[in-house]
Amino acid sequence: MAKAPPRTVLITGCSSGIGLRMAVQLAQDPSKRFHVIATMRDLRKKDKLEAAAGDTLNKTLSIQRLDVCSDESVAECINSLPEKRLDVLVNNAGVGLVGPVESISIDDMKRVFETNFFGAIRMIKAVLPEMKRRQRGHIVVISSVMGLQGVPFNDVYAASKFAMEGFCESLAVQLLKFNIFISLVEPGPVNTEFEMKLMEEVARSEFPGADAATVRYFKEIYLPASHEIFTTMGQTPEYVAKASSTSA
């Protein structure tokens, strides 16, 4: 029996964290079942991925630029694939936003939705025509437990994840007709550089527009508790990547 060709897997947001670890885990598959296209918005941040990829680089793993917020960037990346064929899409790219809602501008809220919600939809729209034509495909969305349950001071981030959950649950039913499957991965706290950097930034913020009592509640109660949860109970990116990789 002829050996099946490797499945092409495209992952967004691979400069660090879950995306990086998932790309490397799939590329290092002993049976070489996958060819991974690891993408990121800024290729100047590819050094960590290249180091982690080791000898899989340019063999079972290749790196490409892709900005999920740009129609042109998405089209350029998908059009570069042979016959635009993609077996598995992993929507991992995302941004966070924490703080009192009164202090968050509408533009910042839109930025979160542009990446977390519309960015994922932009990717799905780009790959669906070819997946439907072949009657085969798998879409994995790295969501969050906050897509199921809101958390104080994460109002906008949680809303973007709730929106993604509703979109995917609705679309999944339609796609069964075409033998295309959607998997939602909903990790809890994940101890990543992304989370720690976000916490450090918000700790230094003044939050104009929010009343003193709310800012005090946020800084003196929420932030210490959140930091404790992430450092003591947070999952590792490797663990989440391993669980997510089983979906691919």
Task: Work out the average pLDDT over 221-229.
Answer: 87
Spatial contact of 26 and 3, defined as CB atoms under 8 Å apart: no
- Predicted local distance difference test score (pLDDT) of residue 248: 66
Residue 144 tokens read as 């969050």
CATH of the domain at 93: 3.40.50.720
- Mean pLDDT of all residues belonging to the chain: 92
Structure confidence at residue 74 as a pLDDT band (50, 70, 90): very high
- Predicted local distance difference test score (pLDDT) of residue 70: 98
Question: Does 168 score more than 80 pLDDT?
Answer: yes
Structure confidence at residue 237 as a pLDDT band (50, 70, 90): confident
Q: What does the radius of gyration of the chain's CA atoms come to, in whole angstroms?
A: 19
Q: Find the farthest-apart pair of alpha carbons in the chain and give their distance in angstroms, rounded.
A: 70
- Predicted local distance difference test score (pLDDT) of residue 197: 73
Spatial contact of 23 and 61, defined as CB atoms under 8 Å apart: yes
Task: Identify the residue with better confidence: 150 or 118.
Answer: 118
Task: Work out the average pLDDT over 90-112.
Answer: 95
Question: Does 1 score more than 60 pLDDT?
Answer: no
Q: Is residue 177 part of a domain?
A: yes
Q: Is residue 2 part of a domain?
A: no
Question: Does 194 score more than 70 pLDDT?
Answer: no
Q: Is residue 169 part of a domain?
A: yes
Q: What range does the domain containing 217 cover?
A: 7-242
Q: Is residue 73 part of a domain?
A: yes
Question: Does 3 score more than 70 pLDDT?
Answer: yes
Structure confidence at residue 2 as a pLDDT band (50, 70, 90): low
Q: Please give the positions annotated as active site.
A: 157
What's the CA dihedral at 76, 78, 82, 83 to 10 degrees? -110
Q: Is residue 213 part of a domain?
A: yes
In this structure, the number of other CB atoms found within 10 A of the CB of residue 169 comes to 11
Task: Work out the average pLDDT over 148-161.
Answer: 94
- CA distance linking residue 183 with residue 138, whole number of Å: 8
What letter represents residue 45's amino acid? K
Question: Does 230 score more than 90 pLDDT?
Answer: no
Domains held by the chain: number: 1
- Predicted local distance difference test score (pLDDT) of residue 247: 67
- Predicted local distance difference test score (pLDDT) of residue 236: 80
Q: Is residue 71 part of a domain?
A: yes
User: Per-residue pLDDT tens for 23-68?
Assistant: 999 999 999 999 999 999 999 999 999 999 999 999 999 999 999 9
Q: Which of 10-19, 51-60, 174-183, 203-212 has the weakest average pLDDT?
A: 203-212
Q: Is residue 1 part of a domain?
A: no
Q: Is residue 247 part of a domain?
A: no
